Amino acid sequence: MSQQNLEQLAMELNNATTEGDLSLSTEYHEGLSVITVTVLDREEFPIYITIDESQILCVTHLWREEEILAGKREELLDAMLIMNAPMPLSAFSKVGQQYILFGALFTEASVDEILEEVDTLSNNTLLAIEELSEFLHSESE
């Protein structure tokens, strides 16, 4: 998918509503070849969409390495592995010090399929934060 197609996708997703009733807004970052999708009422977990020759990748940031409670990293990783299989359309990963949740689609995916991925990834992000928060520093610490 070309840059022009990525920009077109950003326009098609902007102000869209998913089947799960999530309202979206988008921002296309031309120099970065990425779209930021913001879900209304979930602004703290934007979804980043990028496209290469083999896939459409949708990513959301979860937490950074330093946010994990001392001595809890191994338990957290084990819990993430256990959650990985039953969590539909999403998987955990780590890029540098940043833990992420992502989903991938084939490059010919329709806008409706991308909307389904965004809906699922956003819901799975909230689930992951809720289920794994016991391993992380709270904001009040």
Q: What is the CATH number of the domain that holds 39?
A: 3.30.1460.10
Provide the domain count of the chain: 1
Length of the chain as a residue count: 141
Q: Establish if 10 belongs to a structural domain.
A: yes
Structural domain includes residue 22: yes
Q: Comparing 88 with 102, which gets the higher pLDDT?
A: 102
Instruction: Say if 141 falls within a structural domain.
Output: no
139, part of any domain: no
> Which residues touch 1 (CB under 8 Å, ≥6 apart)?
9, 51, 56, 107
Reported as a single tens digit per residue, the pLDDT across 47-73 is: 999 998 889 999 999 999 999 999 999
Question: What type of residue sits at position 129?
Answer: I
DSSP class of residue 31 equals G
Q: For residue 115, tell me if it sits in a domain.
A: yes
pLDDT tens sequence across 107-116: 999 999 999 9
Q: Is residue 108 part of a domain?
A: yes
Which domain does 101 fall in, by range?
3-133
Dihedral (CA of 129, 132, 134, 136) sign? negative
Mean pLDDT on 89-111: 96
Q: Is residue 138 part of a domain?
A: no
E-assigned strand segments in 40-97: 47-51, 56-64, 91-95
Q: What is the pLDDT of residues 3-35, one digit of tens each?
A: 668 899 999 999 999 999 999 999 999 888 899
83's tokens: 């959650």
Give pLDDT tens digits for 35-50: 999 999 999 999 999 9
pLDDT at 1 over 50: no
Q: How far apart are CA 111 and CA 107, in angstroms?
A: 11
pTM, two decimal places: 0.92
Query: Residue 41 domain-assigned?
Result: yes
